[in-house]
Structure 1
Amino acid sequence: MYAERPFPGLACVWRRSAVTAAVGRVVPDGCTDIIYSATTGEVFVAGPDTVGHVTPMGPGELFGVRFGPGVGPSAFGVPAVELRDQRVPLTELWGPSSRFEDALGTADDPCEVLASAALARLRDTPPEPVVGAIASTVSATTVDDLARSLGLSARQLHRRSLAAFGYGPKVLHRVLRFDRAVKLAWAGVPFADVAHRTGYADQAHLSREVRELAGVPLGQLIRS
């Protein structure tokens, strides 16, 4: 079972539980997460992914907080490109904290503890305003036009994108478009309409992109 809910200042908080060993497919969405395993006590960061991958899960519960695209690296204190396709113990980024670990272990809702810690870090080191501008406009213009609109060179835009998102602007566009398409498909929108509404040339183009980024066809992805 997987459920997520909105949380002010974050993309969402979520919880996943399983009574037997299971696997889940994680696909690129441009986001970063902090994840706590109630079974093992581990807390780790899931960096921005470039391809889908299957993740095994034993019996137990996982709790997570999700940062929107470009936001997490400000809380982690490292460029997103260093976390790309990685799963990193949180202590490697924030250092050990027995108080934090004890709070997670005794909390009725560990998501609240994770979210409180994440938001405190963001208050100390908020993302640069340009990060939001890149995320919101990268799909609507060319890289050169986006760079000019932000007062940056194309090379500067690429560096800023790698640091904030883990991808250059072209890959970021591809990932965010894929994420929008998957959400529409999950909502029951016909695949041809999904392709049109998210800017793919046609349904065949959408199908190729989903296979490359998720590793499975769109129909299989939304059933998994």
Structure 2
Amino acid sequence: MLSSGTPPGWSWSDVDVAVPRPSARLPGISMAGFRQRVFAYGEIAMVAHPSVTLLIDLSEGTGPVYDIHGRQQRGSVVVGLLPGDLRAAGWGRVDCLQIRLEPAVAAAVLGATTELSGTVVSLEDVWGRDAGRAEERLCAAASWDERFTIAAEILTRRLDDRTVVDPEVAYTWRRTLTSRGRVRVEGLADAVGWSRKRLWSRFRSQLGITPKRAARLVRFDHAAHLLAAGHAAAGVAAESGYVDQSHLHREVKEFAGLTPTAVAAAPWLGIDDVAWPASSPTRSRDC
């Protein structure tokens, strides 16, 4: 979810990454801590990811500023699905806890997420005073391990306090994710015993995205990581379920604003793989 271009004044080698130990991980939730070690200006171009994302600012000083379509938001934010052209900029040494929530989990942790789709809002607008309390506890923690423990406690409590989405909707999302977006809505409707119209309506009203759009987003995410791993675009198109290479090009352009060649070289995918490595799910690195 991070930069599609190396910002002036620093490089990804200047960023330390920490991830929770396997025993501390929660279903449907991924966390990572980022620390910029050098004092410099940096700009991050963010791209679509199949999750709702919390970016909790733990920096000393001004912290990051997020810009979406000319509107700016400072501090801790919630990034909904499909945010569009989103950039973050910061000056100094930035500390940030990034929490990715699968949409069905986000609906429980954040409440209704439909209005979050395509937007970036202040975490305080969503959690109220709890946002400030969470920031204070996380800032006071002595290590990333302690921060992950605190975050897991907060998220677990909110999960216990809220109603989850319909089981049929949650199942549809999980099947979309595990199939890497290569699944037909009609088949999913049959699997849960609903009509296509009902599944479409309930899915969209609870997760803020249609089943078809969700499948496209998941498929793009898989294709983007294959491109970053060095696979040729033609092979990625075939493996990811696109009609042809031109189809892949159009989808990557829509979701990332880049060509497949540019995505393959995008530094954000490199750091993304450090924090959430698909091939090494037990990797852990503290900073």
Asked if these proteins are the same fold (TM beyond 0.5), I'd say yes
Question: Structure 1 pair 70/47, CA: closer, same or farther in 2 (3 Å)?
Answer: same
Give ranges in structure 1 of 5+ residues lacking alignment: none
> Alpha carbon RMSD of aligned pairs, Å?
2.4
- CA shift at 1:175, angstroms? 0.6
- 1:10-62 per-residue CA deviation (whole Å, 9 max, x = no partner) reads 43212233332222222222201111112257332111115353332333121
Distance verdict in 2 for CA 1:4–1:120, change over 3 Å: same
One of 173, 195, 206 as aligned partner of 2:237: 195
**Within the alignment, does 1:13 sit opposite 2:31 as a pair?**
yes
Please give the per-residue CA displacement for 1:157-210, whole angstroms capped at 9, x wherever unaligned.
122222343211111111110011112222222222211111011222111110
Q: Which residue of the partner structure matches residue 166 of structure 1?
A: 208
Q: Which residue of 2 aligns with 1:136?
A: 174
Distance in 2, matches of 1:2 and 1:212, equals: 30
Taking the aligned partners of 2:233 and 2:224, their CA distance within structure 1 comes to 10
Tell me the amino acid that sits aligned with residue 219 of structure 1. T
For residue 82 of structure 1, the aligned residue among 115, 129, 145 is 115
Pick one of 17, 31, 52 that aligns with 1:3: 17
Using the size of structure 1 for normalisation, the TM-score is 0.86
The number of aligned residues is 223
- What are the ranges of 5 or more consecutive residues in structure 2 without an aligned counterpart? 1-14, 64-74, 267-287
Identity %: 27
Distance 1:43 1:50, change over 3 A: closer
| Distance in 1, Cα, partners of 2:52 & 2:247 | 27
How far residue 100 of structure 1 moved from its aligned partner, in angstroms, is: 2.5
| Aligned residue identity for 1:130 | E
Residue matched to 1:38: 58
Q: Of 73, 81, 86, which aligns to 2:107?
A: 73
Q: Does the CA-based 8 Å contact 2:227-2:236 persist in structure 1?
A: yes
The answer to whether the 8 A contact 1:49-1:84 is kept is: yes
- 1:103 paired residue number: 137
What's the offset of the Cα at 1:3?
Answer: 3.5
2-side partners of 1:54 and 1:91: how far apart? 20
Pair 1:104–1:4, CA change in 2 (3 A):
closer
Task: State the shift of 1:67 in Å.
Answer: 1.0
Amino acid at match of 1:119: T
Contact 2:45/2:86 (8 A) holds in 1? yes
Amino acid corresponding to residue 3 of structure 1 in structure 2: V
Is the CA contact (8 Å cut-off) linking 2:237 and 2:243 kept in structure 1? yes
